[in-house]
Copies of this chain bind each other. A is one copy, B any other.
Amino acid sequence: MNCDVKTVIAPVNIAVIKYWGKRDEELILPLNDSVSATLDTSVMCAKTSVCANPHFAEDEIWLNGKKESFSNQRLQNCLKEIKQRAYNEKSIDDIFLTWKVHICSENNFPTAAGLASSAAGYACLVTALAKLYKVKSDISSIARLGSGSACRSVYGGFVRWHAGVNPDGSDSIATQIADSSHWPQMRALILVVGDTKKKISSTIGMKRSADTSELLKYRVQYCVPKRTDDISKAIKEKNFGKFAEITMKDSNQFHAVCMDSYPPYVYLTNISHTIIDLVHKYNEISGETRIAYTFDAGPNACLYLLENEVPKVMSLIQHIFPSSSDKFVTGLNFKEEGLNEEFLKILSIPIQAKDSIKYVIYTKVGDGPTEIKDGSHLLNKDGTPVKSVLI
């Protein structure tokens, strides 16, 4: 019996106000609001196909070409909640909810690079399941059960995840601050830094900080509420200088909280700090803030900047961080700009060891999850993965 396969692509998002620390570990409820930009799925995305069939013996999942166990609690929570929602909404025949599902998902970028792959993955999964079960209501709170920041990947443009106050998490949802067409000049450069050091997972790090960092309490109560309001305003007014300043300060504060935890832990490497110095010097020489950096739970930088700054910054990055790769930059097209010797002299950032930055992804703000209707599914009509995805 053939089944109806639903396929969705979903974006990654990079936070400008950071999510760090949970008030409920089970329901993945955060201590504070966070804000992110959703990045264009044409450059980076997760892709997920789902289908259901009365003849499937059990729920099955394939991730990036490998069969995985379905016992993952977060995965089960997402499936259970979306079925519950379908049942409440009476969106589909109840019998359909008893059928087992097959899920096949992949990212078009390296999962291990620390590039918010779980956010894209769970947003994609939950959106695909919502299509399958015809759920119409907001599903950001269900994506949140998979991976906290996944709730922000459910919308395009600039997105705010509200911490909420309800113990059941019903008000811990994402809302859109502005859609992807609002600030069309906004660009992002993701600098993937070679990472040799074993790092603490974000789940463990968050828990340790929530348990031990005195400063996190103040961040949650006073700093983040003001910053969230201020950056929402900066986004609405397209005030890049303000947007950039808040973004950098919030990234720094998050990493300060890691250091204030007990025992302390660090995600930034010497190369990360060189990027920080480079951005501050660039802005200082420019006489205004033209680039913002932000770092998640790893050494990779995401630079936000406006389109007209890209040629110069791209040339500069390739100058300071020489690469042995012929595919150093991927993503959108750009022109390079010759570098002014005087500028480099004033900047006085030494040229770094080859391949200190492994590669750069050039992208922009984009839309939320989208259903793919061209038939390029990851599952065949019988519920088996299409050959090309298997490794």
Chain A residues with CB under 8 Å of chain B are 214-215, 217-219, 222-223, 245, 248-249, 252-253, 255-264, 266, 270, 273, 276-277, 280
Contacts and interface: CB of A to CB of B under 8 A. Distances in A.
B264 A259 contact: no
Mostly helix, strand, loop or mixed at chain A's interface?
Answer: helix
A215 B256 contact: yes
A35 to B, nearest CB: 17
B259 A259 contact: yes
Nearest to A251: B264
Contacts of A257: 256
26 contacts: A214-B218, A214-B219, A214-B222, A214-B223, A215-B218, A215-B219, A215-B223, A215-B253, A215-B260, A217-B218, A218-B218, A218-B222, A245-B262, A248-B262, A249-B262, A252-B261, A252-B264, A253-B259, A253-B260, A255-B259, A255-B264, A256-B259, A256-B260, A256-B264, A264-B276, A270-B270
Contacts of A215: 215, 218-219, 223, 253, 256, 260
How many copies of the polypeptide does the oligomer hold?
Answer: 2
Nearest to A215: B215
A257 B223 CA distance: 14
Contacts of A260: 215, 252-253, 256
B273 A266 contact: yes
A249 B263 CA distance: 8
Contacts of A222: 214, 218
A17 to B, nearest CB: 13
A5 to B, nearest CB: 48
Contacts of A262: 245, 248-249, 252
Nearest to A217: B218
A273 B253 CA distance: 19
A19 B223 CA distance: 23
Given A215-B215, A215-B253, 11 more contacts: A214-B218, A214-B249, A215-B218, A215-B219, A215-B260, A217-B218, A245-B262, A248-B262, A256-B258, A256-B264, A263-B280
Contacts of A253: 214-215, 259-260
A168 B158 CA distance: 50
The 4 closest A-B pairs by CB, nearest first: A218-B218, A256-B260, A256-B259, A256-B256
By CB atoms of chain B within 10 A, which of A214, A222, A245, A276 has the most? A214
A262 to B, nearest CB: 6
